[in-house]
Amino acid sequence: MPTFIDGKTIAARSQASTADEIARLRARGITPGLAVVLLGDHPASRAYVRSKDKTCRELGMYSRKLELPASTTQEELLHLIAGLNADPAIHGILVQSPPPRHIDEAAVVRAIDPRKDVDGFHPLNVAALAMEDPSALVPCTPLGCLELLRAYDIPTRGARAVVVGRSLIVGKPMAMLLLAKGADATVTVAHSRTADLAAVCREADILVAALGRPKFLGAEHVRDGAVVIDVGINRVEDPADPRGYRLVGDVDFDAVAPKCRAITPVPGGVGPMTIAMLMGNTVRACRALTGGE
């Protein structure tokens, strides 16, 4: 039987440490503040925003939830961000993705003060990550994946890692984190158009799936004894479920798990870590902006 990597437990441990840091800052009169901006009424995005807001308040942070209509213009959104950049009570800014189609998301990311870019998507943070600058704010999901590997004592040094997915949100930063000094993995970045993808994936000691396609990777993609980190969270119809759907990953869990040394379930694997890392990034940003120790 494989080890099931319990993201909920590791996230709770991380949040307990973050709560201690927040308490120390508050004792000095400093309260970390996170602003989350949501445009429109996308159900999954609304659920994520509620969860982030709830977690902030539970940890003792200041949370500002800004829900805007889908008709909000680019100019209005950029004006709002400028105000948040200038607000000393706000140390982290997150604009929930995806925005409505008329919004230029890249321009929105560039408008956020990189010191408050707790998503880690601003070009200056991306460059800092590539340069292994410790001041970088790192994208939350890949950072959470790395924390899971560390928590379960899964060695990365010298390991062959294959990251399936090349997005700026997960795939590319995940590859950089695994390649960086200290992690020291040998990294291949693959994607849905990689020739003989199954053969490439089978080379992996550590396989990270981040395509956004339900159950795309099957048993033929995984060698015996591999560690599988499944970043995907996909809704698929399921009439037997009271909700009418269920959540599955990018990996066919039932087919793959018997071959693995360790694997993340969906839900309950990577997902909880993303919010935990967001809280940690906000505290880091707060310290950098206020000089807090």
> Which residues are catalytic, by number?
52, 96, 119
Q: Report phi then psi at 260, rounded to 5.
A: -95, 150
Q: Report phi then psi at 273, rounded to 5.
A: -70, -30
Longest alpha-carbon distance in the chain: 57
Q: How far is the C-alpha of 281 from the C-alpha of 50, rounded, in Å?
A: 18
Comparing CA positions, the residue from 251, 262, 266, 197 lying closest to residue 225 is 262
Q: Are 26 and 250 in contact (CB under 8 A)?
A: no
Half-sphere exposure of 13 (CA within 13 A, CB side): 9
SS3 10: helix
Q: Are 81 and 117 in contact (CB under 8 A)?
A: no
